[in-house]
Amino acid sequence: MAQFDQLLPVREGHFGDTLRVLVGRELRIRYKGSFFGILWAVLTPLATVVILQFLFTKLLRFTIPHFAVFLYAGLLPWTWFQSALQTGAMTLIENRDLVRTPFFAKPLLPGAVTCTNFILYLLALPIFLGLMMADGVPFTRALVALPLVWAVQGILVLGFTLLIASIGVLVRDIAHLMVVILTFWFYLTPIFYDLTQIPPESARWLSFNPMAAIITAHRAVTMYGKLPDWLALGYVTLVSTALLAVSLVIFRTLEDAFIDEV
* Overall average pLDDT of the 180-187 stretch: 88
Q: Is the peptide bond before 9 cis (omega within 30 degrees of 0)?
A: yes
Q: What is the pLDDT of residues 134-159, one digit of tens each?
A: 999 999 999 999 999 999 999 999 99
Residue 9 has pLDDT above 50, yes or no: no
Top-ranked range on mean pLDDT: pick from 117-131, 138-152, 180-194: 138-152
pLDDT band at residue 59 under the 50/70/90 scheme = very low
88-116 burial string, b = 16+ CB within 10 Å, else e? bbbbbbbbeebbebeebbbbbbbbbbbbb
Count of beta carbons in the 10 Å neighbourhood of residue 165 = 29
Which whole-number Å values give the CA distances from 180 to 75, 95, 175, 177, in the listed order?
Answer: 18, 24, 9, 5
Average per-residue pLDDT in the chain?
83
Q: What is the pLDDT of residues 36-48, one digit of tens each?
A: 555 656 666 666 6
Q: How many whole angstroms separate alpha carbon 254 and alpha carbon 52?
A: 41
